Structure formats: C-alpha cells, structure tokens
C-alpha cells in the first residue's frame, strides 16, 4: 500500500459520454465508462465498507466466506490456542485454498492475527467510503499498466513508464488531499479472496504478517473519503486478474477535465500517441494532448474560459471529430473506438451520446 498527501486539487462531477466510430463496412462501437464499478469491482467495494462497519469481526466473517461454519466463539478459541505456527495449520483447519496456503507459506501465527483484529476500531466507529468514478478510472488505468507489465517491474506500485502515484489521481481529475493504493497483482478472479489478502496482509513480517499491515490499514483509514477500484485481465496469466484499489480524501473546486481512452475499433488495442484536441463553440482550442501507452488521455481546461463543444482525434492519418459535447461546468469521460479507413473515399462518422450523472447507478 502506498499513501501520499498533496496540495490543493478538485473534485469533479462526471457526465458519461461515448463515441461510436464507423467507416465503410465498419462495425459500430460503444464506449465503456471504466470509472464505474462492474460487478466484481462493486463486490470488492462492498467488502471494504462491510469491513469498515465492523472491523473486529472482519477476520471471522472473511473465513465464513471460505466455508467456515463454526461460531465466533469457537473461531476465536481455535486461533487463541495456537500461539505459534505449525506446518499446515491453516490448511488443516480451514481447507486448502489460496488464503490458507499463503498463510501457511508465510507462517502466519493464528493468535497474533486474532490479537491484531481484536484491537481494530469497534463496530460503527468508521464511516463508509464513497465511490468515485474519477478514482475508479484512475484505478482501472493503473491496473492495465500492471497487467501489461506482467511482473517485469519488481514493485507493482512503480511500473516502468507509468505515471507516478500522484499523477495517477490528478490525471483522472481526482482532487485530493491524501491518496493511497492497494494492489493484488495476478490473482484468481475472486473479490472475496482478494479482500482476505488485503485484510489479513500476510507476508514477510512479524509472525507472518506485513509490518505494518498497510493494505488493511488503508481500508480502515480515516485519511480517505472516496474509493475507486479497477479489476483488469489483460492476459498476464490467463484467467487471473489484477485489482487496484485507489483511495483518496477529496474536496470540491472549479477545475474541469476531459478524459478517456482511444482504442482501435477493430482490434481493441490501445492507440498510442494519438492527438486529442478540445475546442469550444468558437473554435478556440481549450487543450490538447496525446494518448499514453494505454491509449488514455486527460485534458484539463478552464471552464470559465470556454465550454467544450468539439473534440478532434487524429488517428490512421485522418481526423475524427465530434461536436455538441455538453454544457459548461461539466466534466467529460469519452472513450473513442476509431476504425481504420479502408479506402481513400471513406470517412469517419462519429456520434456522441451523453448520460447525465444523475441517471447513473446508485452505489452503497
């Protein structure tokens, strides 16, 4: 887990927008709001807030998800009576799975982990985190970096070529005072197992627990108010995924942003180095940038100076344009799927769809 504090930035409200790109004989593509939670990301988010609601019972409830059917008293007695680790203790008592195998590997002492959970905040003392689409987009983008790096960088918090932790948040329009990151890299797709990994925090520390247990601490921190989660499978290990949890304390201000991904409409591959230009209705350039190695882009603009009206994206030797982007004071999340023009006489046709933020799915 990594954590930062920062100078003043801003909290933004999103409009979900999408590009549909077409050329001669091309399919029609719709965009995904990578900032919104899918089913697995929602499950991971709910697990964090469930943990925050009753931290001291978090260990018992986690093992119940593995199938433990005993009472809380029996569970506590079992752990308290084991003051050192013996080979295979976790597996023999709770079955053979990723969690128990990892705890036996790191020789996690049962009584120590119970004692640590007994000292956590009491039920009801922590408020729930709120979801942020901006932070969710940041988490999704960095999870893609980690997956594509495929373990080549020893520290997944600092993948070679990726933006630094602070820039991961600010590039996604997150206005933060403090920021943190948890990563479960190349894991089986199970939000429950990933949550146990973060909450228990087994590893090369005292009694087989990371010291300090930074992943657990960040999920229970009072330094953060908002969370976004990205769970991505880019093929590092077939069937396994990477989960990135981004956490931040946010606040409001008046900045505005325009951001998203640009991909090849036929292959789905990221389009790198594509020019993205943002104009107002008077054809004044509000900002320009190029897409990064993930096909992602961010343009910050002064919404007091002009309101976004048109975006130009230069790809495959041609410029694709879309107009009527929205109203002043809003932020925009636009993903463009651009298809190569098959013959010189063909042209791009783009349509933009906008869904007001108030219509987005509610979250717990």
Q: What does the pLDDT profile of the chain (364 residues) look like in tens digits?
A: 666 543 322 222 222 223 333 333 232 334 457 788 999 999 999 999 999 999 999 999 999 999 999 999 999 999 999 999 999 999 999 999 999 999 999 999 999 999 999 999 999 999 999 999 889 989 999 999 999 999 999 999 999 999 999 999 988 888 899 999 999 999 999 999 999 999 999 999 999 999 999 999 999 999 999 999 999 998 899 899 999 999 999 876 545 778 888 888 888 888 999 999 998 888 999 899 999 988 988 888 776 667 778 888 888 888 888 776 655 445 666 777 777 755 443 333 333 322 222 222 222 3
pLDDT recorded at residue 310? 84
SS3 string, the chain, reads CEEEECCCCCECCEEEEEEEEECCCCCCCCCCCCCCCCHHHHHHHHHHHHHHHCHHHHHHHHHHHCCCCCCHHHHHHHHHCCCCCCCCHHHHHHCCCHHHHHHHHCCCCHHHHHHHHHCCCCCCCCCCCEECHHHHHHHHHHHHHHHHHCCCCCCHHHCCCCCCHHHHHHCCCCCEEEEEEEEEEEEECCHHHHHHHHHHCECCCHHHECCCCHHHHHHCCCCCCEEEEEEECCCCCCCEEEEEEEEEEECECCCEEEEEEEEECCCCCECCCCEEEEEECCCCEEEEEECCCCCEEEEEECCCCCCEEEEEEEECCEEEEEECCCCCCCEEECCEEECCCCCCCCCCEEEEEEECHHHCCCCC
* Cα 235 from chain centre: 17
How many angstroms separate the CA atoms of 153 and 216, rounded? 24
How many angstroms separate the CA atoms of 96 and 247, rounded? 32
By DSSP bridging, strand 256-264 and strand 331-333 are parallel
How many angstroms separate the CA atoms of 284 and 99, rounded? 56
CA atoms within 13 A on the CB side of 298: 18
Burial class for 360, CB neighbours closer than 10 Å (0-12, 13-18, 19+): middle
- Residues with Cβ within 8 Å of 249's Cβ and at least 6 positions away in sequence, in order, are 176, 177, 178, 179, 223, 224, 225, 226
């Amino acid at each position: 887990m990594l954590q930062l504090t920062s100078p003043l930035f801003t909290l933004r409200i999103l409009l979900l927008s999408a590009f549909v790109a077409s050329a001669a004989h091309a399919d029609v593509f719709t965009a995904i709001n990578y900032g919104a939670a899918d089913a697995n990301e929602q499950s991971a988010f709910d697990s964090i807030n469930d943990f925050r609601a009753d931290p001291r019972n978090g260990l018992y409830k986690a093992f119940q998800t593995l199938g433990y059917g005993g009472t809380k008293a029996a569970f506590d007695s079992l752990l308290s009576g084991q003051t050192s680790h013996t080979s295979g203790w976790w597996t023999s008592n709770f079955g053979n799975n990723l969690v128990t195998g990892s705890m036996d590997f790191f020789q996690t002492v049962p009584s120590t982990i119970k004692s640590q959970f007994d000292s956590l905040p009491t039920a009801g003392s922590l408020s729930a985190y709120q979801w942020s689409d901006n932070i969710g987009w940041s988490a999704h983008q960095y999870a893609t970096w980690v997956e594509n790096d495929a373990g080549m960088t020893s520290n997944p918090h600092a993948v070679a070529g990726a933006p630094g932790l602070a820039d991961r948040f600010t590039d996604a329009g997150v206005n933060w005072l403090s920021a943190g990151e948890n990563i479960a890299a190349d894991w089986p797709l199970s939000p429950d197992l990933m949550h146990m990994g973060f909450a228990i925090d087994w590893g090369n520390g005292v009694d087989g627990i990371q010291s300090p247990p930074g992943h657990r601490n960040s999920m229970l921190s009072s330094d953060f108010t908002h969370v976004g989660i990205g769970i991505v499978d880019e093929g590092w290990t077939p069937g396994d995924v990477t989960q990135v949890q981004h956490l931040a304390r946010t606040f409001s201000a008046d900045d505005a942003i325009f951001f998203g991904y640009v991909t090849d409409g036929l292959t789905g591959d990221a389009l790198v180095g594509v020019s993205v230009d943002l104009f107002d209705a008077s054809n004044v350039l509000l900002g320009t940038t190029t897409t990064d190695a993930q096909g992602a882009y961010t343009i910050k603009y002064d919404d007091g100076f002009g309101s976004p009206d048109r975006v130009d994206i230069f790809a495959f030797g041609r410029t694709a344009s879309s107009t009527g982007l929205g109203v002043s004071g809003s932020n925009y999340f636009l993903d463009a799927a651009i298809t190569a023009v098959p013959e010189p006489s063909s042209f791009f046709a783009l349509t933009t769809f906008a869904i007001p933020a108030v219509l987005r799915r509610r979250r717990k």
